[in-house]
């Protein structure tokens, strides 16, 4: 008898393996269970459905997405640094983000950016327009996602320059 965590792990990795070969929508619960070597009922005992598997995976590694030091940008160089940092973490987790996107769960990342930028701005400039962090988060999020669509082929400096030039 396996531990519950092991069973979950088998299921998660099975889905990821399948997602390398097949389109997310085409993958059926039966396929995942078979690949994981468990019964379909077992799958449903641990997960509500396919999407729940992805959510589970990301909830267990959200910490890795936190970008290094939360410096508040005071000059153009700081802006470049923060923006490059965000893109850097994104690129380092390219594959998980591709899975997120395919599962229509990318907004979890946007929520994450919103939360972090809001806190950053609130600490430093409580007086500033409260929508400003969302403005930054939104453009970083969307550019990141389109960058991902292009398989992150442009280098980070180019993207960072685009962002910073546009807002500075």
Partner DNA sequence: TATTCTATGATACACTTGTCTCGCGGGAAA
Partner DNA sequence: TTTCCCGCGAGACAAGTGTATCATAGAATA
Given the rule CB under 7 A, which residues bind DNA?
A: 1-2, 4, 7, 28-30, 37-42, 44-46, 48-50
- Backbone φ and ψ for 153, nearest 5 degrees, come out as -80, -35
* Long-range contacts at 126-133 (CB < 8 A, ≥ 24 apart): none
Q: If binding is defined by CB under 8 A, does position 14 make contact with a second copy?
A: no
Q: 16 contacts which partner out of DNA, a second copy, none, CB within 5 to 8 A by kind?
A: none
Torsions phi, psi of 128, nearest 5? -65, 160
Please report how close the Cβ of residue 143 comes to a second copy at its closest, in angstroms. 5
CB closer to a second copy out of 92 and 167: 167
Answer yes or no whether residue 80 interacts with a second copy by CB under 8 A: no
Q: How far apart are CA 144 and CA 98, in angstroms?
A: 11
Number of residues that bind a second copy (CB under 8 A): 27
Contacts with a second copy, residue ranges (CB under 8 A)? 104, 106-107, 110, 114, 129, 131-132, 134-143, 145-147, 154, 159, 162-163, 166-167
């Amino acid at each position: 008898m396996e531990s519950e965590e092991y069973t979950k792990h088998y299921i998660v990795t099975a889905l990821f393996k399948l997602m390398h070969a097949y389109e997310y929508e085409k993958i059926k619960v039966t396929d995942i269970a078979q690949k994981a070597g468990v019964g379909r009922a077992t799958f449903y005992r641990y997960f509500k459905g396919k999407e729940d598997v992805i959510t589970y995976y990301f909830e267990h590694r959200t910490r890795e997405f936190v970008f290094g030091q939360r410096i508040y940008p005071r000059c153009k160089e700081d802006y470049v640094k923060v923006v490059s940092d965000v893109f850097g973490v994104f690129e380092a987790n390219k594959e998980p983000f591709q899975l997120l996107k395919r599962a229509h769960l990318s907004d979890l990342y946007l929520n994450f950016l919103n939360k972090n930028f809001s806190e950053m701005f609130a600490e430093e400039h409580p007086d500033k327009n409260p929508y400003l962090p969302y403005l930054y988060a939104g453009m970083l999020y969307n550019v990141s996602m389109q960058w991902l669509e292009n398989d992150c082929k442009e280098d980070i400096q180019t993207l960072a320059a685009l962002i910073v030039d546009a807002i500075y």
